[in-house]
A = this chain, B = another copy of it.
Amino acid sequence: MAAAKALAHAPVEVTLVDRRNHHVFQPLLYQVATAALSPADICSPIRTVLRDQANVQVVLSEAIGVDVEKQWLIFKRGHVHYDYLILAAGATHAYFGHEEWAEVAPGLKSVEDATAMRRRILLAFETAEYEGNADARRAALTFGIVGGGPTGVELAGAIKEIAGQTIPKDFRHIDTATTRVIVFQGGDRLLPQFPPELSAKAQRHLEDLGVEIRLNARVTSVTAHGVHIGDEFIPIRNVFWAAGVKASPLGHTLGVPLDKSGRVIVGPDLTISGHPELFVIGDMAAANSANTGEPVPGVAQAGLQMGDYAGRAIACAVEGVPQQRRVPFSYHDKGSMAVIGKAKAVAQIGILKIGGFLAWLIWAAIHIAFLIGFRNRIQVMVSWFWNWLFNSRDARLITGNSQIEVMLPRSEEFVRNTSTVPMEPAPAEPPR
C-alpha cells in the first residue's frame, strides 16, 4: 500500500494483489487476540484506502509464483504480465523445523489467528471452571508463551491482566487470578532488539503483573499437555507461539539466493540481481541499510519505508532514470516500543529510553495516529479508555462451531461442587 501510494502521480497502472480484502494493523493484533478490540477496529478494506487513487486497481487473489524471465505473476488459474513487480508477501510463523507444533502452539499473524487465539484463551477458563481434577485444572489455568519479543511480552501482559482483573468475578469455582503466565525466552533477556536497560525494565513490569519469565529457556518439545525445556516438563494446556518467523514461500519461486529464514537477498535498491524491475520488500527481504550497513529489521516501519522507496524508484524508472543512478535504500529507525499490561510500556526513540506510564502514553498516541481510518481511531480510543477505567474487555466472544463439549458437567454433584467428584486424572505426560 505504501508503494501504491508512492506511485499516485506516476504515469503507471498499478494492480495491487492481496489474498485478503483488508489491511491489518499488525501491531494491535494482540489486542484482538486478548478481546480488547474487535477485528474491524484494526482493519481497513484495501479498496477503500485506495479508492481515490484512480491509477490503482485491487485484485482479491493469491499469487503463487513468479516467472522472472517472462515477467509473469502466476496465480492458480492464470498469470499477469508485469513491467515492474514489488513483492511484499510478508512472513509466517516458523517452528524451528517442528511444524507439527503449529496446531498446539498457534501464532498471531492474521485476524483469523487472533480470533482463534481469543477463543483458546477464553475456553481455557471455561474448561478450568468445571474441571474436577486439581492438576488438570492447574494446567488449564497455565499459559505458556514461546518468545520474548514484543508480541510475546504484549500477549503475556494482556493475558495476565484478563485473568487477574477482567474476569475474576465471572467464575464461581476457580480463582482466575491464580492463572500462571510463563514467557519462554531462548536468549538471556526479553526484547533483544531493545537496549538492555529497557529489557530489564520490561521484565520488571511483567513480573510486577505476576508474569513468570524463563530466560535461556529453549523449548525442545510442545504437546497438547505441556512444554519440555530440555529435561524439564511443565504441564501447560495453552501454548502460544511468538518466536521465529519465516518468509513467504513466494520467494522460493524466484530462483535467487535466500537466507536461512527464506528471505530473498536483495541488492542496495531492493531488487534481485539482474532484474532492476523486480523489488522484494518487507519481511520477505533480507536487505542491508545503506546508511548503517546493518540488516534492515523485520518491523512495520521498515516495510513502510521499503514500500515507499520501491514506489518512488519505479516512478523514476518510468521517467528514464537507470538503475545505476538509484540512491541505495536507507532505513531510518524511528524507535521501537512494546506495551506491558494495562498502562505501561518501554520505548526507545533515538537516544531516549523510556519505561512505565509515560512510555505507554507515547505508545498509545503513536499507534492511534497510525491506525487507518478516522472512525477506527475514535473507536479504539473509546475502547481503550473504557477498558482502562473498568478493566473491561468487551470483545470476549467465543466464536466458531466446534468442540464446545469439552467442558460438559459430568454429574449433578460435579456441577454443584467441582472439588468432591472423583474423576480420572487428565492424561499426564511423563517427564523425559
Contact = CB atoms under 8 A, between A and B. Distances in A.
Interface string A14-46: 010001111000000000000000111101110
A48 B391 CA distance: 12
Nearest to A390: B375
Contacts of A112: 399-401
Interface residues of A, number: 70
Total copies of this chain within the assembly: 2
B61 A404 contact: yes
Contact of A409 (B40, B44, B59): B59
A132 to B, nearest CB: 12
B48 A415 contact: no
**Majority-rule SS of A interface residues:** mixed
Nearest to A400: B112
A66 to B, nearest CB: 14
Contacts of A167: 47-48
Contact of A394 (B40, B62, B395): B40
Interface stretch (A150-158, A321-329, A378-386): A378-386
B398 A22 contact: yes
Contacts of A79: 411-412
A401 B111 CA distance: 10
Nearest to A60: B126
B397 A43 contact: yes
Given A45-B170, A75-B409, A112-B400, 16 more contacts: A13-B416, A21-B397, A38-B39, A40-B394, A58-B170, A60-B126, A60-B404, A61-B409, A62-B405, A62-B408, A77-B408, A77-B410, A79-B411, A80-B409, A80-B415, A81-B412
11 contacts: A19-B404, A20-B398, A21-B396, A45-B397, A47-B167, A48-B167, A60-B126, A60-B398, A76-B408, A79-B411, A382-B382
